[in-house]
């Protein structure tokens, strides 16, 4: 493996570890009121889960970066930091766009939840602890970094690679439709990943509750995926962090 690629893997791994550590206070608050089998300390469970996540996301980083070469997807800013022949270029326009569209998406999500889904579903059956604003702020780092590594760097890249492999397309002639399919499927997978937490809140999974989880969690994923495709993973990370801050810190404080 080239030295610059090793540096890129290490850089992603460090960022991922930062994200996983950042969400620990948030997790401890959510797990504080839950019964633990065998009286196992909550801190021990979190340490084990975090260690396992670091290990398997390391594998996802290796595979995702490897498959990027065959898909046209990239991490231009980080590449520029570790690859000696690449200049780091940050688009201020797209940096701002990523945040602004994330804000608009958050507003749409809140309106959909308040005026479309809440009247159909009603109040949650179970009350879960509400993490403080600073815990939500730290958790946003995890969402932006670790979730983007799992979903965009690995899952979305893998889907594009698989479609190109099956249809025998090379990197330079992959049709746009492959990227759109990958963006949509990755957003759906992200929504499905929130079903356990959704079930914990509502106590059951009806059709409308599943649709709610897919729409509210997958909507912004479409924007993150588009940013990854058109501009690079870093812009998706910025948009994801911004969206989580808007939802879990700013709007959560206002609505509560």
The overall average pLDDT reported for the chain is: 90
pLDDT bracket for residue 56 (50, 70, 90) = very high
Q: Report the pLDDT averaged over residues 8-25.
A: 95
27-31, 40-44, 175-179: range with lowest mean pLDDT? 40-44
Task: Please tell me the distance from the alpha carbon of residue 107 to that of residue 30, in angstroms, as a whole number.
Answer: 25
Average pLDDT estimate for 203-224? 92
Contact 84, 178 (CB under 8 A): no
Averaged pLDDT, 179-208: 90
Q: Does residue 33 have a pLDDT over 60? A: no
Minimum mean pLDDT range among 35-44, 111-120, 179-188, 194-203:
35-44
User: Long-range contacts of range 168-174, CB-CB < 8 Å, 24 or more positions apart?
Assistant: 171/69, 171/70, 171/71, 171/72, 172/72, 174/71, 174/72
Instruction: For residue 178, count other CB atoms closer than 10 A to its CB.
Output: 20
Q: Is the confidence at residue 22, as pLDDT, over 60?
A: yes
Q: Is the pLDDT of residue 127 over 70?
A: no
pLDDT at site 45: 86
Query: What pLDDT does residue 148 have?
Result: 97
pLDDT band of residue 2 (cuts 50, 70, 90) is confident
Q: What is the pLDDT of residue 189?
A: 95
What is the reported pLDDT for 256?
A: 67
Q: Is the dihedral of CA 227, 213, 144, 75 positive or negative?
A: negative
d(CA 135, CA 55): 24
Alpha helices in the chain (DSSP H): 3-22, 24-31, 42-68, 76-82, 92-112, 118-121, 133-142, 148, 157-167, 176-193, 195-202, 207-230, 233-245, 251-255
Q: Over 60: is that where the pLDDT of 163 sits? A: yes
What are the CA-CA distances from residue 100 to residues 106, 218, 223, 235 (Å)? 10, 18, 11, 12
Give whichever of 68-72, 125-129, 239-243, 247-251 has the largest mean pLDDT: 239-243
The tens digit of pLDDT for each residue in 234-253 reads 999 999 999 999 999 998 87
Q: What is the pLDDT of residue 188?
A: 96
Please tell me the pTM assigned to this model: 0.93
pLDDT given for residue 203 in this prediction: 78
Question: What's the CA gap between 19 and 140, in Å, rounded?
Answer: 8
User: With 90 as the cut, is the pLDDT of residue 130 above it?
Assistant: no
């Amino acid at each position: 493996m080239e030295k610059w690629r090793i540096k890129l893997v290490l850089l992603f791994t460090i960022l991922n570890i930062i994200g996983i550590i950042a969400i620990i206070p948030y997790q401890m608050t959510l797990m504080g009121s839950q019964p633990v089998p065998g009286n196992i300390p909550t801190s021990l469970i979190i340490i084990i889960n975090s260690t396992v996540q670091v290990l398997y996301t390391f594998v996802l980083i290796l595979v995702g970066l490897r498959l990027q070469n065959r898909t046209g997807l990239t991490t231009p800013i980080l590449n520029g930091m570790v690859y000696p022949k690449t200049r780091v270029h940050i688009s201020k326009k797209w940096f701002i766009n990523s945040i602004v569209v994330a804000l608009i998406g958050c507003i749409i999500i809140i309106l959909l939840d308040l005026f479309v889904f809440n009247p159909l579903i009603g109040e949650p059956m179970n009350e879960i602890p509400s993490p403080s604003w600073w815990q939500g702020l730290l958790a946003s780092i995890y969402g932006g970094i670790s979730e983007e590594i799992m979903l965009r760097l690995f899952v979305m890249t893998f889907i594009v690679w698989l479609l190109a492999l099956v249809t025998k397309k090379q990197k330079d002639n992959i049709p746009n439709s492959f990227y759109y399919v990958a963006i949509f499927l990755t957003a759906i997978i992200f929504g499905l990943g929130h079903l356990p937490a959704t079930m914990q809140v509502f106590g059951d999974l009806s059709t409308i509750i599943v649709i709610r989880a897919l729409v509210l969690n997958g909507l912004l994923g479409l924007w993150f995926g588009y940013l990854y495709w058109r501009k690079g993973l870093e812009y998706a990370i910025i948009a994801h962090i911004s969206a989580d801050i808007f939802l879990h810190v700013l709007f959560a404080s206002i609505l509560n």
